[in-house]
Amino acid sequence: MRDYSAEMAREEMKKKGKILLNLHFDASRYIIGNIRFMDVVYSAPFLLLTILILIILYKTSLLNTVTLCFAFVPFLFSISLLSMKDAYRKNINQWNKILNKVNFIRREKTFHFTKEVNIDLSQDIRAKLGIFTISNGCYETLDNHLVKVLKVSSVNVSLMSPSDRERVFEAYQTFLNDIPRDFFDIQINQIVQPIDLKNYLIEIEQEINKERDLTKRLLGQSYKNKIYQIQKSKNMVRRERYVILSTKNNNKGLDTIDRNAESLKTQIENMLHGRYELEVTILDNAALEDLLYMAIDYESAQTNKDMSSPLNSFLTVSDKEFKEMSENWKENEKYTIY
């Protein structure tokens, strides 16, 4: 029976469509034979130490057979470390193993991660607004706070009877007294916004298209143009009410403000009953972005909103005018926040 060699193993693996790879790559530089360059570097200090000991022994007349063997101990010790291989990793000698152990002990093993980012906001609009970004349904402010916004519907107390008005005021007073201290500081803001009549204009357009009578179609077109002028002039506005919560932006900040927002939402919805019941919506990222955009650019906030509808525009322009408008849009994009 012939010996099973590495060449035979390669041939058998080749028949099976496999390749034997040598995973132990030796990238060392060799000087002569099996003598590596790094072995010379590592052993050189010990050889110099041995020579120094021999010189001292010679000058002190202590050089003999015993002291000669003693002088070569450091050099022989380094050679033995370089020649002894690790039991599990043949490409690593004991010298490298000791160096790796020393580097591991000296290395810093505790790593600290931080969310702090050094960004120059001196020329950024965020420095004026105090808002760094919008994420997880919150404004992240520059003073390291999370801000949650709740949109609340309203009731007209001026049209209520005196008894109903009194009950509403008492319920509101009770609501304020029952708010947990942890929720403060709470802000209650009233923001004036132009009414968005686009959906109403779309309904009018659809009704006009269904109408067969020419006179009614002309009246409908006139009515649509009137509504469009009101929309364009922004003379028709509404007041939206918002309740604003904030908390520190730390490890538990997001969970805390989400929990507080849900709790406050339930309290507001349970404050009034029947036909005076209030509706509360916790603004998501898109709604927060719209609110921020309206605060920055009130004039065009409603005009640029919901532009996906095929009936969003009631203007017809020529190719030349459209080209000029496109160039103006590209120029305005440089100064517009999205």
- Tell me the longest C-alpha to C-alpha distance in the chain: 132
pLDDT digits (tens, 9 = 90+) for 21-70: 544 445 556 666 666 777 777 788 888 888 888 888 888 888 888 888 88
- For 152, residues 6+ apart whose C-beta sits below 8 A from its C-beta are 241, 242, 243, 268, 278, 279, 280
From 292, 325, 286, 328, select the one nearest 308 (Cα to Cα).
286
Predicted model pTM: 0.48
Name the stretches of the chain with pLDDT < 70: 1-7, 9-10, 13-14, 16-35, 87-91, 108-126, 233-235, 297-322, 329, 331-338
Encoded amino acid at 123, one letter: Q
Q: For position 23, what pLDDT does the model report?
A: 44
Q: Do 329 and 335 contact (CB within 8 A), yes or no? A: no
